[in-house]
C-alpha cells in the first residue's frame, strides 16, 4: 500500500481496519508519521534522511552541545509553531467525539492533537512549546524564551539560510559558535525543552496513564509510528499480552508488525479520514 491509494482501495482498507478494531473503545497510539502532512518530517520514514538526535547526556553534560541545540532550535521552533493539524488529527477527534476512540497516546511533541481538539490526550514525550529549568523546575513558554534569545542574539534567526527542519523543532545550521544561551530567570539554572530526550525516561505518571488507557480499550490503533523505541512499543506489547487486536497504520515496516493483527502500509491522513467515514457513515 502507498499514500496514493484510490478512493475505492482506501475504503476497502478502512473497512478491514474497522472489522479488526470493532466498535471500540479504541486507543490510538500516534507517532511522527501522522504529522508529516502538516509539514513536520519524521525521523524514520522510508524517505527520511538519516538523523542523529542529541541525547540527554550530551545536552546536560556539554555546554557546546547545549549552545548548538539552542541555536538550531531558535530557528527551527518557528516552523513548528506555524504548523496546523491535518485530516489525520481531525479524523481521530471525530472518532473520539463519536465514542469510538477513547483517547490518544502520542509520541509527538508538536501539540497538533490538542490543537485539533483531542480531549483525552497523553503526550508521552512532552511538548515543544514549553521550557523547564532543570534546577528549580520552573516552566516557561517557548515563545517567552524566544524573546530572550532574540535579545541575546539579535538578527541570528533572520540571517540563517539553508536550514533543515526536524521533528523536535530543530534546524540544522552550519555554525553556532557565537550563539548566546539563556539561563533560568528565577535561579540561573539550566533550561531544557520540556521534551523527553533520547537517553531520558518518560515520566512514570504518563506511562501509567497510558497503560490504563490500553487496559480500558478493546483495541489499539497505531498511526504513523515505526515503533522503534520502547516508549511507544511497550503499549502494543501490553495490548497483545491481553489478547487485544492491534492495527498498525504506517508508511513502511515497524518493529511490531509481527505481533499486529493487521498492518496497513499507507499514509495516515487519507486512511484515517476513510476510517472515520466508515465508522460514522
Per-residue pLDDT tens for 63-107?
988 998 898 888 888 888 899 999 999 999 999 999 999 999 999
DSSP, res 179: P
Is 268 annotated as belonging to a binding site?
A: yes
Strand bridging mode 126-133 / 191-195:
antiparallel
Q: Residue 180's pLDDT band (boundaries 50, 70, 90)?
A: very high
Architecture of domain 49-82+126-195: 2-Layer Sandwich (3.30)
Is 110 annotated as belonging to a binding site?
A: yes
Instruction: Name the segment(s) of the chain with CATH classification 3.40.50.1220.
Output: 1-40+84-124+201-281
- HSE-up of residue 20 (Cα within 13 Å, Cβ side): 21
Which range is least confidently modeled, 65-69, 175-179, 190-194, 268-272? Answer: 175-179
Is 37 annotated as belonging to a binding site?
A: yes
Taking residue 187's Cβ as centre, other Cβ atoms within 10 Å add up to 12
- Start-end of H helices in 98-243: 112-116, 142-152, 204-216, 230-241
Note the pLDDT of residue 1: 36
Note the pLDDT of residue 225: 96
Please check whether residue 142 is in contact with residue 128, taking contact to mean a CB–CB distance below 8 angstroms.
yes
Is 133 annotated as belonging to a binding site?
A: yes
Q: How far apart are the first and last CA of the chain?
A: 24
Is 281 annotated as belonging to a binding site?
A: no
Q: 162: part of which helix (H) or strand (E)? A: none
Place of cell 477513547: 102
| Neighbour order of strands in the sheet with 121-123 | 121-123, 101-106, 26-30, 219-223, 246-249, 262-264
Please check whether residue 25 is in contact with residue 102, taking contact to mean a CB–CB distance below 8 angstroms.
yes
Q: 1: part of which helix (H) or strand (E)? A: none
* Set of cell numbers at residue 276: 472515520
Is 47 annotated as belonging to a binding site?
A: yes
Which range is least confidently modeled, 3-17, 72-86, 117-131, 182-196? Answer: 3-17
Note the pLDDT of residue 157: 75
**In the chain, pLDDT over 70 holds for what percent of residues?**
89
Note the pLDDT tens digit of each residue in 27-57: 999 999 999 999 987 755 555 555 567 789 9
Note the pLDDT tens digit of each residue in 239-248: 999 999 999 9
| Residue 254 CB-density burial (10 A; 0-12 exposed, 13-18 middle, 19+ buried) | buried
| Mean pLDDT of the residues in the chain | 90
Note the pLDDT of residue 84: 97
* Set of cell numbers at residue 216: 480500558
Q: 130: part of which helix (H) or strand (E)? A: strand 126-133
Please check whether residue 97 is in contact with residue 190, taking contact to mean a CB–CB distance below 8 angstroms.
no
C-alpha dihedral, 114 to 115 to 118 to 119, nearest 10°? 60
Q: How far apart are CA 173 and CA 236, in angstroms?
A: 37
Please list the active-site residues: 125
Note the pLDDT of residue 226: 95
Q: Among candidates 279, 281, 268, which has minimal Cα distance to 1?
A: 268
Is 195 annotated as belonging to a binding site?
A: no
* Residue 2 pLDDT > 50: no
Task: Specify the CATH class of 1-40+84-124+201-281 in words.
Answer: alpha beta
**Which residues have CB under 8 Å from 226's CB, separation 6+?**
31, 33, 44, 45, 250, 252, 253, 254, 255
Q: Which residue has the higher pLDDT, 277 or 79?
A: 277
Note the pLDDT of residue 161: 53
Note the pLDDT of residue 47: 53
Instruction: Name the segment(s) of the chain with CATH classification 3.30.1600.
Output: 49-82+126-195
Amino acid at each position: 500500500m502507498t499514500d496514493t491509494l484510490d478512493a475505492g482501495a482506501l475504503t476497502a482498507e478502512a473497512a478491514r481496519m474497522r472489522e479488526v478494531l470493532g466498535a471500540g473503545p479504541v486507543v490510538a497510539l500516534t507517532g511522527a508519521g501522522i504529522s508529516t502532512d502538516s509539514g513536520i518530517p519524521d525521523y524514520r520514514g522510508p524517505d527520511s534522511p538519516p538523523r542523529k538526535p542529541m541525547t540527554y547526556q550530551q545536552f546536560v553534560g556539554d555546554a557546546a552541545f547545549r549552545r548548538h541545540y539552542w541555536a538550531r532550535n531558535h530557528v527551527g521552533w518557528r516552523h513548528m509553531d506555524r504548523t496546523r493539524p491535518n485530516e489525520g488529527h481531525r479524523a481521530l477527534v471525530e472518532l473520539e467525539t463519536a465514542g469510538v476512540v477513547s483517547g490518544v497516546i502520542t509520541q509527538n511533541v508538536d501539540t497538533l492533537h490538542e490543537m485539533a481538539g483531542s480531549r483525552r490526550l497523553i503526550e508521552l514525550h512532552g511538548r515543544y512549546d514549553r521550557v523547564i529549568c532543570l534546577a528549580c523546575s520552573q516552566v516557561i513558554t517557548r515563545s517567552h524564551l524566544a524573546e530572550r534569545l532574540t535579545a541575546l542574539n539579535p538578527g541570528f534567526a533572520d540571517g540563517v539560510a539553508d536550514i533543515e527542519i526536524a521533528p523536535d523543532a530543530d534546524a540544522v545550521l552550519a555554525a553556532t559558535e557565537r550563539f548566546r544561551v539563556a539561563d533560568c530567570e528565577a535561579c540561573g539554572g539550566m533550561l531544557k525543552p520540556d521534551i523527553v530526550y533520547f537517553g531520558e525516561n518518560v515520566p512514570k505518571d504518563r506511562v501509567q496513564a497510558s497503560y490504563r488507557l490500553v487496559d480500558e480499550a478493546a483495541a489499539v490503533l497505531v498511526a504513523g509510528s515505526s515503533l522503534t523505541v520502547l516508549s511507544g512499543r511497550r503499549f502494543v506489547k501490553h495490548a497483545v499480552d491481553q489478547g487485544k487486536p492491534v492495527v498498525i497504520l504506517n508508511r513502511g515496516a515497524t518493529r511490531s508488525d509481527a505481533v499486529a493483527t493487521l498492518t496497513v502500509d499507507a499514509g495516515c491522513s487519507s486512511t484515517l479520514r476513510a476510517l472515520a467515514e466508515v465508522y460514522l457513515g
